[in-house]
């Protein structure tokens, strides 16, 4: 599921940062590539809805909600961390979870990425392995339909730019990818 999304982040010698995400969205895609850049165009028009009054109602000048979200944290006018989360509808929640892990829990980029994830999806609460069984049981007792997903919930990449200029990369073991430096 959602294996057609690629996220890349790069920070150069001058600390110029790039956060790039590309996804066809579903296996269909558009089958059209940019002649100039070779980037495949996506079919996010599939996010439109024909229900009148729906926020994603198809109409002229409208854009459907979608999840192509390359992230970039800044502080004091300086880039702190380019990052991205893959995983379809999980992406907005994944961005919030990653930033919360960094800011609220003081985790490193790698630890924030590695932490187990939860995701309310299609009527069930997916809790990755790594949650205490007591947490699963308590959530189920509150009425949640708790499941442990067979597949990972999303993926992420990040590069923290420390005040000293040191770069600290994090790469999600749930997906293909790596953090490289020189």
Tell whether the torsion through CA atoms of 29, 30, 34 and 38 is positive or negative.
positive
Residue labelled with tokens 């790596």: 178
Q: Can 5 be counted among the known catalytic residues?
A: yes
5, 9, 51, 67: which one is catalytic? 5
At a CB cut-off of 8 Å and minimum separation 6, what does 119 contact? 90, 93, 125, 126, 153, 154
Return phi, psi of residue 22, to 5°.
-140, 130
Q: Measured at the alpha carbon of residue 7, what is the angle toward residues 107 and 149, in degrees to the nearest 5? A: 65
Helix ranges, the chain (H) = 91-103, 109-114, 133-141
Q: How far apart are CA 160 and CA 169, in angstroms?
A: 6
Rounded to 10 degrees, what is the CA torsion of 174, 70, 94, 65?
-120
- Per DSSP, the three-state class of 143 is coil
Active-site residues, by number, are 5
């Amino acid at each position: 599921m959602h294996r057609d999304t690629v996220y890349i982040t790069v920070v150069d010698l001058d600390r110029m940062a790039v956060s790039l995400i590309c996804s066809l969205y579903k296996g269909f895609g558009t089958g059209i590539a940019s002649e100039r850049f070779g980037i495949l165009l996506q079919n996010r028009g599939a996010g439109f809805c024909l229900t009148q009054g729906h926020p994603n109602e198809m109409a002229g000048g409208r854009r459907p909600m979608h999840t192509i979200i390359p992230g970039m944290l800044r502080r004091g006018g300086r880039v702190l961390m380019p990052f991205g989360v893959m995983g379809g509808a999980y992406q907005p929640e994944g961005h919030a979870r990653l930033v919360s892990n960094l800011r609220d829990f003081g985790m490193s980029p790698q630890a924030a990425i590695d932490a187990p994830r939860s995701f309310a999806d299609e009527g069930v609460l997916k809790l990755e392995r790594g949650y205490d069984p007591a947490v699963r049981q308590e959530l189920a007792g509150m009425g949640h339909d708790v499941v442990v997903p067979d597949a990972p919930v999303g993926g992420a990449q990040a590069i923290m730019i420390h005040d000293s200029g040191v770069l600290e990369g994090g790469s999600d073991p749930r997906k293909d990818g790596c953090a490289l430096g020189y």
